[in-house]
Amino acid sequence: MITNPIIPIWLMSIICIILLLLVYIDFSKFSKKNKTNNSKRPKNIIKYKIFNKISKTIIIVILFLLNLRFMTPNGDSTQIKYDVDVLFVIDKSVSMRALDYDGEKERMEGVVKDCSYIIDTLNGASYSIISFGDTAEMLVPFTSDADMVKAELGAITTEDDFYASGTSMKLAKKEMEKVLKREQKTKGGAAKTIVFFISDGEITKEGELYESFKSLKEYVLGGAVMGYGTSSGGKMVSRLYEDEPSSSSYYVYYYDNKYNRTTALSKIDEGNLKEVASDLGVGYVHMDKTSKIDSTLKKLRDQMLESQTAEEKINSYSDTYYYFAIALVICLIVDFIVRKRSL
């Protein structure tokens, strides 16, 4: 049996200790305040108070055990691993919130869906994610854990329109260079990396011009530059007002040269994206639906099948948290019934 905590154990321990202190400090105050009058209190009230503290303690203990997420062995399985790395370089700037993917869906929604599809199609590889906007960083180092990479994809948040300072492809290039060189060094110069560069192509960092990606071509086995957006442009929902669609500030706006308030539109810059594709030696694909990447993935899949493979035994485990969840629900129901009867 192993544990796979949802919240780090040290943090959950602090939370549970605080909850217990709140329960018993309250009980202590009640006892001291009514020390002289305890004998006059009805016995059923005292019994309820005691039961209440005990039930709360049991609920907190169950919460702690549920968080530990005990897992039992479920046998071994074999996974075929390919000696290929897949690097996703994802634009998370404000413009990726524009509503012009596959109709009026958010671009980032399309990115998450399309990247998950790529992972499923190129299964057995190792995956890594770089995100960029006004900064660039590696979100996930190369790993064969596809589920973890998908979870990280779903957790990517676009930049806040009130604080973002513009998209920089130069920073994306620097981070890519660092990651690709490190992977080559790790694999003794034999790394095979498929790169998917994902963006709307807009460079909005003040004073920045396009900088060639040609120096990275030698590290790239294949892949694609995936362009999101339309030439007519899409409105972007403001992070601050995303839960208020009726607000006049729901969409990102700016003031033009005549100080007129204007709704901002993000338009794809395919010129920049095609430059990146040419520099990296890969194809360019305009993405408005997932199927657009199929022909590229078929070629890449064929390349993977020709690469060196290895079989890896994986220990699989079954979750047992639902047992604790059932116990928690029962305790909450009992506590609710007793509380209702005591009123």
Instruction: Write the DSSP string, 299-314.
Output: HHHHHHHHS-EEEEEE
Buried/exposed 181-197: b ≥16 CB within 10 Å, e otherwise = eebbeeeeeebbbbbbb
pLDDT given at position 47: 77
CA distance 172 to 134: 9
pLDDT given at position 70: 87
pLDDT given at position 169: 95
- Token pair of 180 as six digits: 């690709």
With CA atoms as reference, report the closest residue to 72 among 321, 325, 318: 318
If you search the block for the tokens 């990447």, which residue do you land on? 293
- Token pair of 238 as six digits: 């403001």
DSSP 248-264: TTSB-EEE-TT--EEE-
Determine what percent of the chain falls in helix, strand and coil, rounding each to the nearest 5: 45, 25, 30
Judge if pTM exceeds 0.85.
no
Classify the C-alpha dihedral 202-205-209-211 as positive or negative: negative
Buried/exposed 125-162: b ≥16 CB within 10 Å, e otherwise = bbbbbbbbbbebebbbebebebeebbebbeebebbebe
Q: Tell me the HSE value of 266 on the side-chain side, using a 13 A CA sphere.
A: 29
Contact of 46 with 38, CB cutoff 8 Å? yes
pLDDT given at position 258: 87
pLDDT given at position 28: 47
- Token pair of 16 as six digits: 């549970």
Beta strand segments in the chain, E:
2-3, 70-82, 85-91, 126-132, 136-143, 193-199, 220-228, 234-235, 253-255, 261-263, 265-266, 283-287, 309-319
pLDDT given at position 166: 87
pLDDT given at position 72: 83
Q: How far, in whole angstroms, is CA 42 from its chain's centroid?
A: 54
CA distance 94 to 99: 11
Q: Pick out the chain residues at pLDDT < 70.
A: 26-44, 75-81, 307-316, 343
Q: Tell me the HSE value of 93 on the side-chain side, using a 13 A CA sphere.
A: 27
